[in-house]
Chain A
C-alpha cells in the first residue's frame, strides 16, 4: 500500500505524541500500543486491524515499563512504526514486531544519548538561577522534551515515508521458514514482558500469590478482573490480620502472649 505525504506526517506526529507522553504529559500512557494502534489505524484507514495489532503488541510489551534511565525499549515509536508497517504491507503482528522491535531498541538508545547531553544544560540552569532568570530556566525545561519529540517525529517520518517501498519489498520476499521463525519469536517475547513486571514486584514472600494467580487462570480460565478481585480480597485479609483489625484478634493475640509467659 502506498502512503501519502499527509499520512506519513500524521504518523510522525503520533510518534512525537508517544515521546511527549513520557516527557511533557507525565505518563498519561499515550505510548501504549493499544493507543498507537488505534491512531495509526485511523490514519491508514483500518481502525479495527490497527487495534488488533495494537492488542498483540500490547501483550508483548506489557512489561516494557519505565522510562528515562530504567526503560529498555521505546514502545511508543516501536508500536507506531510496527503497526504502520503491518498495515501498509497487509501483514499481521509478527511483521509489526519484526520492524517495531529494532526501532524500539534504536530509539531508546537515541533517547539515552539525548538524556546524557541534556546534563550539560543543567549547569547553564545553575548559572541562570544566580541571575534569577526564571523565564530562561523554564524555557530550557520545556525545550528539552520538545527537542526530543521533534527528533522522534523526523526519524519516524523518514523511516515510514522513504523506507516504505524497501520495507514492503523485504516483507513480500519473506520465505515461509523465516516467517515461521519470526512467528515463534513473537509468541515468546510476551514472556519477557511479564518477567520484567515480576522483576519490579516479586519478592520471595510473594511467590505463593504468583503461583495462585497462575493456577487459577490456567486451570479455571478466570480472567484478569476475577483474579484481581481474589487478589484484592487476599491482600485485604492479610492487612486486617497484620494490623489486628479483626474483632477479638487483639485480645486473642494478647491471650496467646500470656500463655507463652
Chain B
C-alpha cells in the first residue's frame, strides 16, 4: 500500500505535476484557479466587490488544504469572501500568495490567519496601480492604436491583432503571477518594499505610457477650425495661424482643459454633457470642424 502510494507520488513528481505534496495540490488545481480567475468580476457588487470571485478562484486549493477540517474550511471560505478589488490581470499573483499562506496556516496552528487578508488588502492599491499602468495605460493603448491603423485600412485582421497584442501579456501575467506568487510571493514583496524598486518600476512604466498618450493626442485627435475671416480684402485662415504657433495646438489645449476638469473632480457625466453642448454650439457656428 505504502509502496504503491510512494510510486504514484514519484510518478507525479516525474510529470512535474505536484505543486504541494503535503496537501496534494497539483498543477491541475492551479490551472483551475488560472481559468477561474478570469471570472473575478462576474459577480461584482458594491459590497464585496470581487470577493466572491476571489473565493471561487481559489476554492479548489482551499478544499484540498482543509479537506479534513470542515470548520477551518468554512473559516477560510469566509476569509476569502471579504471585500477585494484589484485590476484583474495581476490578481492571480495575490491568489498564489493566499494559497501559500493558507497552507502555512494549516501547518502551523499558531499562524495568525488575519495576516492572510492583511496581505491581500495591502496589495490591492499598489498592484492595481501597476496593473492599470500596464494593462490600461500601455498594453491597451498600444494594442488599440495598432488595431486602429489596420481597421482604418479596412483590414479584417485588425480585431485579431488587437486582441492578441493585449491578451498575450495578460495571459502570461496571470499564469506566471499565480506560480510566482505561490512560490516566492512573500519574499518578493519584502524585497520590493524594502528597496523602493516598486515605485521606480511603476514610474518607469509610466514614462512609456505617458509618452504614448502624448503621441496619440497629437495623432488621433483632429480638432481644427474652419474659420475664415476677410479683413480689408485679405483672407485670414485661422487654422494656418494656429499651425504656425504649434501643430495640433487645439487637440493639446482641449485635452489639457478636460484633464484639469477631471482633476477638479467634476463628474465625468457632467464633462461629457458639457462637451456635447459646447461642441454642438461651436459646430453649428462653424468654429470647430473636422
Contact = CB atoms under 8 A, between A and B. Distances in A.
**A, B co-complexed:** yes
B140 interface: yes
Nearest to B163: A29
A23 B248 CA distance: 38
B44 A115 contact: yes
Contact of A119 (B47, B133, B216, B282): B47
Contacts of B281: 181
Contacts of A223: 149, 215, 219
Contact of B211 (A59, A65, A197, A210): A210
Tell me the interface secondary structure of chain B in the complex.
Answer: helix
Contacts of B70: 132
A118 B268 CA distance: 24
A125 interface: yes
B117 to A, nearest CB: 15
Interface in B59-99: 59, 63, 70, 73-74, 77-78, 81, 85, 88-89
Contacts of B263: 199
Nearest to B48: A122
A129 B81 contact: yes
B223 to A, nearest CB: 5
A162 interface: no
A23 B42 contact: yes
B47 A59 contact: no
A210 B46 contact: no
Interface in B244-279: 246-248, 251-252, 254-259, 261-263, 268-269, 271-272, 275-276, 278-279
A202 interface: yes
Interface residues of A, number: 109
B121 to A, nearest CB: 17
Interface string A25-41: 11111101011011100
Contacts of B145: 62, 224
Given A34-B148, A51-B155, A105 B269 contact: yes
B24 interface: no
A166 B213 CA distance: 39
B41 A62 contact: no
Contacts of B223: 187-188, 191
B101 interface: no
A188 B217 CA distance: 11
B212 interface: yes
Interface residues of B, number: 113
B212 A228 contact: yes
Contacts of A200: 132-133, 136-137
B238 interface: no
A243 B197 CA distance: 8
A205 interface: yes
B44 A230 contact: no
A25 B140 contact: no
Contacts of A134: 59, 63
A47 interface: yes
B176 interface: no
B23 interface: no
Interface stretch (A136-144, A152-160, A253-261): A136-144
Nearest to A179: B283
B45 A122 contact: yes
A26 B41 contact: yes
Contact of A141 (B56, B137, B219): B56
B37 interface: yes
Interface string A51-93: 1101100110010011111001100000000000000000000
Contacts of B155: 51
A180 B42 contact: no
B37 A26 contact: yes
Nearest to A119: B47
Nearest to B57: A141
Nearest to A54: B151
The 3 closest A-B pairs by CB, nearest first: A184-B283, A213-B214, A26-B38
Given A213-B211, A228-B215, 14 more contacts: A24-B39, A26-B88, A34-B144, A35-B162, A59-B148, A122-B51, A144-B43, A144-B45, A184-B279, A209-B206, A213-B212, A214-B252, A224-B146, A228-B211
Interface of A: 22-30, 32, 34-35, 37-39, 47-49, 51-52, 54-55, 58-59, 62, 65-69, 72-73, 101, 105, 115-119, 121-122, 125-126, 129-130, 132, 134, 137-138, 140-142, 144-145, 177-178, 180-192, 194-203, 205-206, 209-219, 221-225, 227-228, 230-232, 234-236, 238-239, 242-243
15 contacts: A47-B156, A51-B154, A58-B147, A65-B132, A69-B44, A72-B269, A188-B275, A189-B279, A196-B262, A199-B259, A203-B203, A209-B211, A217-B215, A228-B208, A231-B208
